[in-house]
Amino acid sequence: MLLEGKKLLVTGVLTDSSIAFHVARLAQEQGAEVVLTSFGRTMKITQVIARRLPAAAPVLELDVTDTDHLASLAERVGEHTDRLNGVVHSIGFAPAGAFNFLEAGWDDVATALHTSAYSLKALAVATQPLLQRGSSIVGLTFDGSYAWPVYDWMGVSKAAFEAVNRYCARDLGPLGVRANLVSAGPIRTTAAKSIPGFQAFEDTWGARAPLGWDVNDPVPAAQACVALLSDWFPATTGEIVHVDGGVHAMGQ
């Protein structure tokens, strides 16, 4: 029971193939209480998927680019729990135009950066009133160290996201709050399917991974998130844990 007695806010649960869904599921199995977020047209989908969790979980509306949603988040979460011991950031979006690096306009790039990078800081600040000493913020990334095929401005956003995490670690550390990321290999989620040419990752990743890789299995990444949410990493912050079969460590 790694998370016994802990109370968590988990964003990004859309389908039962999403990493966030399995973070919520495993967290409940490990003793945590979970509150979920969703927004807009996806709210009803998240509410349906939430019924597949081991225990009922409330779903709050949260658009991380909406200042009103962020300003009221702590109060709304407070209607379901008196504190938070962990927050999971599993949010990313880029308009179609952002997947053409040289031709992308600033409006598309700005949307990608706001939703996929700045939102980590925004979520941390919004939940800070409820976060206890010893709390853990965990985000999901896709290795921002490289210029990947087809990823384009979403790749830039992930690099920015990883930088934002380091600054969150710096500024939240004195408050006793850790900030870490899990860098997962490609998982066949709804978000991944919306990326033009995503199959390029699927076709080559398993061959490059020393441990092999299953694009249909989000559980290993979810398990890493749960571990980072637990008390077993009390002195780890600003870190990126790679759950990618080992691809990050290999040359071409």
State the pLDDT at residue 90: 97
Active-site position among 6, 7, 121, 158:
158
Which residues are bridge partners to 33 per DSSP?
A: 7
Q: How remote is the C-alpha of 115 from its chain's centroid?
A: 12
- The closest alpha carbon to 159, from 146, 169, 144, 148, belongs to 144
249: left (phi over 0), alpha (psi -120 to 50) or beta: alpha
Angle CA(77)–CA(221)–CA(81) in degrees, nearest 5? 15
pTM to 2 decimals?
0.95
193 catalytic, yes or no?
A: no
- What is the distance between the alpha carbons of residues 42 and 129, in angstroms, rounded to a whole number? 27
Q: What is the pLDDT of residues 168-217, one digit of tens each?
A: 999 999 999 999 999 999 998 766 666 777 777 777 898 899 999 999 99
6 catalytic, yes or no?
A: no
- The closest alpha carbon to 28, from 50, 55, 51, 61, belongs to 55
State the pLDDT at residue 1: 92
Residues of the chain short of pLDDT 70, as ranges, are 190-194, 252
When the pLDDT of each residue in the chain is averaged and rounded to a whole number, the result is 95
State the pLDDT at residue 194: 67
Burial, 5: exposed, middle or buried (Cβ in 10 Å; 0-12, 13-18, 19+)?
exposed
State the pLDDT at residue 204: 86
Active-site position among 121, 146, 151, 193:
151
